[in-house]
Amino acid sequence: MKLDWTSGNHITLLENGEQYYPRVFELIAGARREVLVETFILFDDKVGRQLQQALLQAAANGAEVHLLVDGWGSPDLSSDYIGPLADAGVQLRAFDPVRRLFGTRVNLFRRMHRKLVVVDGQHAFVGGINFSIDHLSEFGPMAKQDYAIEIQGPLVSQIQLFCQASLTAPQPRRLSWMQRWRDRMLRPVNPLEPAAGATAAFVTRDNLGHRKDIELQYRAALRRARHRVIIANAYFFPGYRLLKDLRRAARRGVQVDLILQGAPDMPIAQAAASLLHAHLIRAGVRIHEYCKRPLHGKVATIDDEWATVGSSNLDPTSLGLNMEANVLVRDQAFARLLREHLEDLMQNSCSRVELQPATAFGSAWVQVRSFFVFHFLRNFPAWIDRLPGQKAEVAALQPTVP
């Protein structure tokens, strides 16, 4: 797997909805040519209405506006929400629209979990933040802690082409060498000099030809780590190969810190991750549970040289089923900034997980339970692939006629 790394990118870290939404909505509302939005969750709440108004303004400006949502994550958008957008010419689509059996949604797996925004081919946003009020602190104790980045520079055109392909293809394949060459020839000149910006790459995961791309990038970075690894991930239950790379890094003297959920929005996620605690801590990995509110971030930084921000968790659904998108960054300034943010979380909002003494019976039971649960979840995506499935599609969203 060869990534198309580009230099000369300007990358800005955005923390939570308070920083993310104002910037995204400002740029969308000012768009003149094209707006591309992909999101797993879009709710008809305060944030969803702000997005609606920004999209309407972009359409009024004459921009071509496309909105792609996931059919599972955004199943109940009303005609009051969709209607004005459709009337304004916004192209609305759903990935794998909702299917119900006796009133229950059945299209649970293989979700479009990406969170991408591209405006006028000049600005792109990638991260884990959906369009819903639970990414704002005003939501209360269950408001999510999360991250995204804004990108300006050559990488934007790669993300733009990817999003354009996603409008009709559920799982767009990676561009051919001929398409990449044509893109480079037609790419607008970036106002930043290459030396002034970051080197970055766009990496995706799908169920066709790129099943392990994101996981392999994590593993390669861990094998190269020399001094410090910090991974903050909301839903953590990776396969044994990634776990082995984490343990090996710690054993060769790298300081490895994991920030996991301590105040989970889904308790099962914390319970699953806890089965791995002893296995990792005994190898020297330090585990911190973020307890201030639910952690929703999917970020990492290594040696102040490499970083990633995106939508992919390190669990069976993200690594084996969902369509995901991350950006990899090789830039000391950005990696250092992300490290400082994560160190602040560990120092001020986390509790360190310590091994607890256990009876012989209790220890044996935990090991037996962990063994079966781990191997069940590790093979979960492969089992799902063997079940009969319906091919996902991208379909137009239309307001319901009364």
Catalytic sites, residue numbers:
113, 115, 120, 296, 298, 303
- Beta strand segments in 194-302, E: 198-205, 228-233, 255-261, 286-290, 298-302
Closest CA to 164 of 398, 399, 394: 394
Q: What is the CA 357 to chain-centroid distance, rounded?
A: 36
**Cα-atom radius of gyration of the chain, to the nearest Å?**
21
CA distances for 29 relative to 10, 26, 62, angstroms:
21, 5, 11
The one-letter amino acid code at 125 reads F
CA distances for 269 relative to 126, 176, 296, angstroms:
23, 38, 11
Distance CA 185, CA 97 (A): 37
Distance CA 272, CA 270 (A): 5
Q: Are 126 and 169 a contacting pair, CB within 8 Å?
A: no
Strand partners for 13: 149
Secondary structure class of 258 (helix, strand, coil): strand
Question: Torsion angle of alpha carbons 261, 351, 348, 226, nearest 10°?
Answer: -80
CA distances for 339 relative to 152, 243, 307, 332, 382, angstroms:
21, 21, 9, 10, 34
Closest CA to 289 of 349, 374, 238, 243: 349
What distance separates the 2 farthest-apart alpha carbons in the chain? 70
Closest CA to 349 of 292, 265, 286: 292
Strand partners for 255: 228
